[in-house]
Homo-oligomer: A and B are copies of this chain.
Amino acid sequence: MRTCYTGDVGKQYLDQTVTLFGWVHRRRDHGGVIFIDLRDRAGLAQVVVDPDNVQAFAIAESIRNEYCIRITGLVRVRPEGTVNPDLASGEVEVLCREIEVLNASVTPPFQLDDDNLSETTRLTHRVLDLRRPQMQNNLMLRYRVAMEVRKYLDELGFVDIETPMLTKSTPEGARDYLVPSRVNAGQFYALPQSPQLFKQMLMVSGFDRYYQITKCFRDEDLRADRQPEFTQIDCETSFLNEAEIREIFEGMIRQVFARVQGTELPQPFPTMTWAEAMRRYGSDKPDLRVKLEFTDIDDLMRDVDFKVFSAPANDPASRVVALRVPGGAAMPRSEIDNYTKFVAIYGAKGLAYIKVNDAAAIPEGLQSPIVKNIHADALRQLIERTGAQSGDLLFFGADKAKVVNDAMGALRVKIGHSDFGKTHGLFETGWQPLWVIDFPMFEYDEEEGRYFAAHHPFTSPKDGHEDRLESDPGGALAKAYDMVLNGWELGGGSVRIHRADIQQKVFSALNIDEEEARLKFGFLLDALQYGAPPHGGVAFGLDRLVTLMAGAESIRDVIAFPKTQRAQCLLTQAPSAVDEKQLRELHIRLRATDVK
């Protein structure tokens, strides 16, 4: 049995004989002595093999990197000048008395400390990639986060209840992963996109406080940071209002950060309405570390001689905003050009700007081709309202509201995170959480000409907004909230509808008739009839939370065995072809035209 993890061998074991298990991280021969950096999940320890110890030395000479070995030896202080302050075990070394090779290793396809490996190499050799200290730390962090979540929720009486993985397909929302049934020919299960309906039914069953850390599935085209299966911290509670629910769950995130990283998050988290977030940041998940915000100038630009501004300023579906960049006049022209290209990605047709050379001299102190088309009064009010100072830069967005929000919102973040932003005080490091609240109930889809649920169709309208469900669906707000951290949506939730009549009105607004509603959600509607309690909840993305906390580049770095963007596992070669017999048993066949 081992004495301790190798990473934990410290002065407390001085002059004691210890037994360690681990992998050969590096072997060096130095002055006739062999040094082995022995590695396990806790870290490294230095093992010294003296040539006097003939037997051990012979074995030590034969071992190579990534051999798995057991060593027994005496802990002693490292000679002066060789102490390694970067290691927990850096003050001591282990003088090897006995060494045993538990398993040899062929030469690994890459060095574990190579930081320039392609993602393909890493995922193909994931077993070795996971040996890298960074990946070990990421998965250990993930575990500690999940465990702290459990402890917090346990203390508050939340009960982990497992919901099914083989569920019913509901052609709403994202695409389902389907599972053909063998016993029920021609029928399919769906893997859950979330346990939403089940957790609501558990509330109706009286479990009062539920949670689950569970896999969810969406068969979507994978963008950079999506996975076909992802992990949700899924929670629901009865009898609490919006503010009470938010208090519980920001407390959870606060406790996780405090216990896992020793970081204190603000108490309480600030809240901001969705309308304000869109107005000031063009985003429902603003990164508050970026010290830039929009100034609305529609009213100033209605009568200017510049169609690019005046047309959207006079269109209720459009908006015109200025983004003041303090000190931005110093920004090189090339950077501005790059931003012009950048906003084009989001559909912006250009990126107007004004350099404020002298804020007191209007218009001559303002440098921009557009200045001549905007009358002095508008310019004066623009400078006043944005608070622009000499040396600042103003960027402008003027288009359909969605384009402006997307383009200028992204630009705001881009500038904030740029070297310019970081050296000009436009970016504040640290954790800046935020609740965005009062989301709209519905979003209008221009193409399909109908409303969709902004959150999901079980979200309760704000008190007093019930009538708007019919009279003004676009103006109806929801008891919905998102937790945002540094520009990432960490989680979101809502108070649910617990009354069948309100649920009916929402379905009407969504153009879901009674038959369709029964077919898709009949079991939930039934459940609501039997004294369903007021309830609400939230779901957090565990992958994202851990990625943020780990400072990782991708959620793939906090998942042990992730899929590629083609939804493949390079390690196990999933998915793969299967036997014809298996398909026959499942009552399906391949479409010949699709499969070569």
Contact = CB atoms under 8 A, between A and B. Distances in A.
A186 B143 contact: no
B106 A206 contact: no
10 contacts: A126-B201, A127-B201, A139-B207, A147-B160, A164-B229, A164-B561, A181-B567, A198-B561, A201-B571, A583-B588
Interface stretch (A363-371, A430-438, A526-534): A526-534
Contacts of A154: 147
B531 A67 contact: yes
Q: By CB atoms of chain B within 10 A, which of A159, A164, A573 has the most?
A: A164
B187 A577 contact: yes
B169 A531 contact: no
Contact of A163 (B40, B105, B561, B577): B561
B41 A208 contact: yes
A474 to B, nearest CB: 29
A68 B203 CA distance: 12
A452 to B, nearest CB: 19
B106 A530 contact: yes
A531 B104 contact: yes
A130 interface: yes
A179 B176 contact: no
A102 interface: yes
A103 B589 contact: no
Given A560-B202, A589-B589, A102 B572 contact: no
Nearest to A566: B183
B180 A178 contact: yes
A179 B191 contact: yes
A576 B204 CA distance: 24
B185 A532 contact: no
Interface in A473-524: 498-499, 523
Contact of A179 (B105, B178, B559): B178
A228 interface: yes
Contacts of A171: 578-579, 582
B574 A168 contact: yes
A167 B569 contact: yes
Given A127-B201, A139-B207, A184-B566, A168 B533 contact: no
A127 B239 contact: no
A527 B124 CA distance: 11
Contacts of A392: none
The 5 A-B residue pairs with the shortest CB-CB distance, nearest first, are A186-B595, A105-B531, A130-B205, A168-B574, A187-B575
B594 A176 contact: no
Contacts of A166: 177, 217, 228-229, 563, 567, 569, 574-575
Contacts of A40: 206, 208
Given A130-B206, A589-B590, 9 more contacts: A102-B531, A127-B205, A128-B205, A139-B161, A163-B561, A164-B569, A165-B215, A166-B567, A186-B577
A108 B204 CA distance: 13
A298 interface: no
A578 B162 contact: no
Given A186-B594, A587-B595, A589-B588, A529 B41 contact: no
